[in-house]
Structure 1
């Protein structure tokens, strides 16, 4: 993974939209995709014209309780078609927001109503799934938070969005979207990165929950935290059976990590490098220290966790292509099993409730974050035991990993690389669950 981010570029910590406005709970929720202007660079420097929802990027944080119904009146005020995908949430297939598979794109000036129940507590997000390699890079995304019926005892529940941008010195987005070099290599890596944080003061001794989301189109974010003693409690919206030590983290595009811990100083979000760690953002402590809790961080309530069957169906998904990746049978830069783009027939037809053991093989020179819509899956550990539940798994160059999927959600579900330029140039397919 190459880096071209200077200390100055990393040290920006404010953004006009970092208040992360929350949508009111009254239904239906209006959601409007439209051009926006943001202060991505430091205050006093140039502004950035892009896309957003309801006047901001990120868009408004949608926050509900598990089991509640979310009804969204979506209006497209962009000059081009788009659609909204609800990433990681187990919803009805017709609401998944994938043009060409579950719906038509929403034309400029048109409206589409999304309506679904949010069955599982967790940290999710929403984003464009039409020309997503450009529209997400322009800012068309937001957080979707589903709270537990009884949330954990914390003083602050804070959403943290990690992103990067490719900017000119003026603050304008570089207009080289979709160039073949990016598509064939690591994707559209930005030259400016930061942690987007709400305007909140946390006091020493307070217990906080951090919901960390990587919304970048290509960058794999290493992340270290300072100023907090805590534990990792969830991955990709699914609680861990037991809290895990808070070591350095790695988030592929679209992955999420929840941390609960006690504030000891300014909470700093650091991008480690071999030379030094760059600060992407911080939560500054106030002047009113709190009495620290004496209770340990405990596991979140368990969520939907289907049990794989021992007689799992075996399938292999081989990632091929890209620069230095050799020849393959597909007709685009990348392919799965020699097929580029969405085939007319599904890659696999699977009975509802059936377990599949997918062997994911990265035969390319670049990392890929493989995301399955509508389901979570178990990563299989090196010793063959069943591991973490995720909806996106990161495979480095040359790596092979097995995952176990209980296909219990009927419909047509996309399976693709979440390095969105890779998806756009061939690395996607679909499964049908009947």
Structure 2
């Protein structure tokens, strides 16, 4: 078994190591010793229900939710993690194409960051858009307790919006006293996952945000929940989808019950009413009873913007796969016989239910299991995702972005993404260029599914 001492001896990744070259790397000498910011995850009390502070909340802030981080496309970004939790953690920068050493997966790309230890994450994001960050260690517990945040990578030239509102969507498993209850139930883990009891946006129930009357608003929604798949619509104004999972869509389309699962992001644009005090609601309609996710309220004299002035976002520089010469590799997502798992480096929830290609990967160490696929650097590939279960799975690939090609169940638009919602009994083909070397996780982002076997990794050399 790969242990921490052996990992450090190999020199695969440390906060001060050479981070690689090419598109996704930089030399350590290029990085300033002073980080752009310092994140200090810790345990806090937080008043979520409004009447009794919840104890044992995890946050990257001294109070309240994690800060919204902003980086600039094509510019160096340096974050120092100082762990103040009484357990190890890391940061995974979800959706970003960055060097493998910065991906934040314990004992695959870096060692644990123990209490009072530090690690420097240094990278240059090649793509603009909406991304997020979260631990990849004791993932279910740490994310369920609150440890998620949003990262925005701004375009080189700022788009012409009158307001930019970010929404971090997540549930909490709280009792009526405001305290945490069991984070999961085994019978739920073997199905769609265990849903929360309190639904929040930026840690509030139905928050209200004042934005300019008659203005064009960019609304970014990030599903950092560990289970819930949203279906989003608006009331009070029409909305247009302009980006999914950080990447501009090829053609704008109306927001109409758009499915957005754990790990996914959606950027929408809308024009606010001209009259002051009017409300536009973002609604989730994924359950039998719809509810308001957040409310925008018009403020001030109308800017009298014309939604037809909205221009497409600039395309991110993702390489186009060579479909004629691409190699096809199948991945089957299945249930598996329940069994007690071996101990993983980042904890276990006590059982396995799920598998990829009939293998349940229960830890985050690549030993003793080999990668499910070994890819050649620079070559094009088509992955065939085959969901042989009665549940939808948001399948996330680290370090790379892929283009949706086709499905046996629905019409697929050629969106570029890092997380695909694969429906029950669906076969979905996705394509990409293997241009980023390293070991990259491939897993379901319903975290109970990930932690009970629906996870593995690929290797690019």
* TM-score greater than 0.5 by the shorter chain: yes
Deviation string, structure 1 residues 272-323 (Cα, Å, up to 9, x no partner): 267553222212222433222363322101112321111111111111116x
How far apart in 2 are the matches of 1:338 and 1:124?
31
How far apart in 2 are the matches of 1:379 and 1:249?
16
What is the aligned counterpart of 1:256 among 254, 260, 265? 265
Partner of 1:321 in structure 2? Answer: 335
Partner of 2:133 in structure 1? Answer: 126
8 Å contact kept, 1:243–1:297: no
What is the aligned counterpart of 2:429 among 387, 390, 402? 402
SS at match of 1:158: strand
Q: Which runs of 5+ in 2 are unaligned?
A: 1-33, 343-351
**C-alpha distance 432-275 of structure 1, shift in aligned 2 (>3 A):** closer
How far apart in 2 are the matches of 1:61 and 1:385?
32
What is the aligned counterpart of 1:348 among 373, 377, 380? 373
Partner of 1:37 in structure 2? Answer: 45
Q: Following TM superposition, by how much is the alpha carbon of 1:45 offset from its aligned partner in structure 2, in angstroms?
A: 4.7
Partner of 2:102 in structure 1? Answer: 95
Partner of 1:236 in structure 2? Answer: 245
Partner of 2:357 in structure 1? Answer: 337
Residue 429, structure 1, aligned to residue 435, structure 2: no
SS at match of 2:149: strand
SS at match of 1:333: strand
How far apart in 2 are the matches of 1:119 and 1:274?
37
8 Å contact kept, 2:166–2:221: yes
8 Å contact kept, 2:173–2:183: no
How far apart in 1 are the matches of 2:447 and 2:286?
24
Partner of 2:233 in structure 1? Answer: 224
Q: Following TM superposition, by how much is the alpha carbon of 1:227 offset from its aligned partner in structure 2, in angstroms?
A: 2.8
Q: Which moved more, 1:46-55 or 1:354-363?
A: 46-55
Deviation string, structure 1 residues 171-211 (Cα, Å, up to 9, x no partner): 1121x235423322222311221322787411320111111
**C-alpha distance 48-204 of structure 1, shift in aligned 2 (>3 A):** farther
What is the aligned counterpart of 2:216 among 207, 224, 233? 207
**C-alpha distance 100-57 of structure 1, shift in aligned 2 (>3 A):** farther
**C-alpha distance 185-117 of structure 1, shift in aligned 2 (>3 A):** same
What is the aligned counterpart of 2:35 among 17, 24, 27? 27
- The equivalences for 1:270-281 within 5 A come to 270-272=283-285, 276-281=289-294
Aligned Cα root-mean-square deviation (Å): 2.2
* Length-normalised TM-score, structure 2: 0.82
How far apart in 2 are the matches of 1:386 and 1:307?
15
Partner of 1:3 in structure 2? Answer: none
**C-alpha distance 73-79 of structure 1, shift in aligned 2 (>3 A):** same
Partner of 2:6 in structure 1? Answer: none
Residue 117, structure 1, aligned to residue 124, structure 2: yes
Partner of 1:172 in structure 2? Answer: 179
Partner of 1:5 in structure 2? Answer: none
**C-alpha distance 45-183 of structure 1, shift in aligned 2 (>3 A):** same
How far apart in 1 are the matches of 2:385 and 2:398?
16
**C-alpha distance 385-268 of structure 1, shift in aligned 2 (>3 A):** closer
What is the aligned counterpart of 1:246 among 249, 255, 265? 255
Partner of 1:136 in structure 2? Answer: 143
* Length-normalised TM-score, structure 1: 0.87
Q: Which moved more, 1:374-383 or 1:88-97?
A: 374-383
8 Å contact kept, 2:143–2:226: yes
SS at match of 2:309: coil
Q: Which runs of 5+ in 1 are unaligned?
A: 1-25
Q: Following TM superposition, by how much is the alpha carbon of 1:241 offset from its aligned partner in structure 2, in angstroms?
A: 2.1
**C-alpha distance 156-294 of structure 1, shift in aligned 2 (>3 A):** closer
Q: Following TM superposition, by how much is the alpha carbon of 1:371 offset from its aligned partner in structure 2, in angstroms?
A: 0.2
Q: Following TM superposition, by how much is the alpha carbon of 1:382 offset from its aligned partner in structure 2, in angstroms?
A: 4.0
Residue 150, structure 1, aligned to residue 164, structure 2: no
**C-alpha distance 379-56 of structure 1, shift in aligned 2 (>3 A):** farther
Partner of 2:384 in structure 1? Answer: 359
What is the aligned counterpart of 2:76 among 55, 69, 77? 69
Q: Which moved more, 1:119-128 or 1:220-229?
A: 220-229
Aligned residues: 403
